[in-house]
Amino acid sequence: MSEYIVAIDLGSSKIAGMVAQKDKNGLLKILAVESEPSAGVRRGVVTNHSEAAATVGRLVKKLQNRVKIEIGKVYVGLGGHTLKSIVNVVPRIFDKETELTEEVIKSLYDKNLNLEFENSSVYEILEQEFILDGELEPSPAGCMCSHVEARYLLVVGKPGINDRVCACLERIPQKLAGLFTSPIVMSESLISPREKELGCVVIDFGAETTTVVVYADDFIRHMAVIPFGGKTVTQDIRDMQVTLADAENLKKNFGCALVALETEPKTITLKSPLHGNDDHKVQTKNLASFIEARMDEIMDMVCMQIEKSGYGNQLRAGVIITGGASQLRGLPELVELKTGLKVRHGSFDHLLSDIEDAKQISPAYSLLIGLVNFGSENCQVVEPEVVKTIEPVAPPKEPQKDKSKKRNPFKGFGDKIVGTLFNERDFEE
């Protein structure tokens, strides 16, 4: 392990960073994880370059102090509530049976580059299936056919969200090692090849967004971002006449996403925010009712996206949940109730060289793991080697032999005069 991979997650609740190394088997060694309260980022999109850049700058310094290296570039995730997927099928008919060369396959792919969408830009093109003369062909290169349909999944979103990330880093300044689509690198790192084949749904419960990625038959089939998350739940809890800080504390420490699980309700006493008022009491069952109402609404939107994918009946591997808000008690039970599928929390243990590293990785850092897993460039500043030029050593001169064996009586006197002249000249100058 020698190269350092650095990733930054521009999240809505926090901006987090990670430094990791990979061993010869591609397994990760987590060296440092740091975070700062988010600023200048809303729903996964940079909205204030100065605030976001200042936060990332502090974060990079924290990571450098932890690992004792100078960081020159970082990997960043591209996210946001405007991201979604669109299926595009590119057909081509030949005059006669023709071999599908790499050039032909590339020309089919390039057709996606010229597509224009209203208020959207294409950020990623995922190659999926090829149908040759009505038959599915997983490896089309070299095959003969007279008609081909190439299927692609395009990830599109609001124009310029990638430019905002670049503008943010330029202010630090920090180079960009790579910009990966957040839902894709996270979900690809989270699930196994078997789950991709069987079909599954990855749900990332974030602070201001909830992301849904549907897999079936080895491919991503659908992706959508719902503009509601854990912060929305916190705002709802404020209606119980509590402060924002108390609402967040209640959600994390006493919250439950399913009222039916509150079999032994408790009373929580909070200090009143108003002087002279009695302490405020909150019933955990009432708290759960607020949380369940919002999470139920979010899950209705998730189920709608699963149905929209067209693969709702092919999800034999169930649901994998991750993200900071996924730690809410009772959420797995609610997801299972709403989808009718088995649910498990996502784990990155299979990517780590040391299982002890899993203790410092919470679901809130899922994207960071995905970014360092996909990253390959060394992000450390490496000083160029200085090549020293060795000057050839001249052979020592042989001392001249004094042919005269007689002593010169003026030699010492002359040296004194010359020295005196130079000293006086130096003084005058």
Work out the pLDDT band at 333, boundaries 50, 70, 90: very high
* Token digits of residue 200: 């599954």
Work out the pLDDT band at 404, boundaries 50, 70, 90: very low
Overall average pLDDT of the 254-268 stretch: 92
pLDDT tens digits for 353-402?
A: 887 777 778 888 999 999 999 999 999 998 765 555 556 655 655 555 54
pLDDT tens digits for 95-112?
A: 999 999 999 999 999 999
Work out the pLDDT band at 417, boundaries 50, 70, 90: very low
pLDDT tens digits for 151-167?
A: 999 999 999 999 999 99
Domain ranges for the chain: 5-82+159-231+292-374, 84-157
Name the residue with tokens 């450390």.
Answer: 380
Model confidence at 412: pLDDT above 90 = no
Model confidence at 424: pLDDT above 90 = no
The contacts of residue 203 (CB under 8 Å, 6+ apart) are 210, 211, 212, 302, 319, 320, 321, 322, 323, 326, 335
pLDDT tens digits for 193-221?
A: 999 999 999 999 999 999 999 999 999 99
**Whole-number Å distance between alpha carbons of 206 and 229:** 5
* Token digits of residue 137: 């062909």
Q: Do the domains 5-82+159-231+292-374 and 84-157 sit in the same CATH topology, yes or no? A: no
- Looking at residue 154, its pLDDT comes to 96
- Looking at residue 405, its pLDDT comes to 43
Name the residue with tokens 């071999």.
Answer: 99
- Yes or no: domain 5-82+159-231+292-374 corresponds to CATH 3.50.50.60: no
Model confidence at 416: pLDDT above 60 = no
Overall average pLDDT of the 404-425 stretch: 40
Overall average pLDDT of the 314-320 stretch: 97
Q: What is the pTM of this model?
A: 0.85
- Looking at residue 361, its pLDDT comes to 80
Quick one: fold of 84-157? Dna Ligase; domain 1 (3.30.1490)
**Whole-number Å distance between alpha carbons of 79 and 388:** 47
* Token digits of residue 363: 């679901």
Selected residue with higher pLDDT from 359 and 87? 87
Model confidence at 426: pLDDT above 90 = no
Cβ 330 vs Cβ 256: under 8 Å: yes
The percent of residues in the chain predicted with pLDDT above 90, rounded, is 76
The percent of residues in the chain predicted with pLDDT above 70, rounded, is 87
Nearest to 75 by CA among 371, 369, 366: 371
User: What's the mean per-residue pLDDT of the chain?
Assistant: 88
pLDDT tens digits for 276-306?
A: 566 788 999 999 999 999 999 999 999 999 9
The contacts of residue 76 (CB under 8 Å, 6+ apart) are 7, 8, 9, 10, 165, 169, 176, 178, 179, 180, 371
Work out the pLDDT band at 275, boundaries 50, 70, 90: low
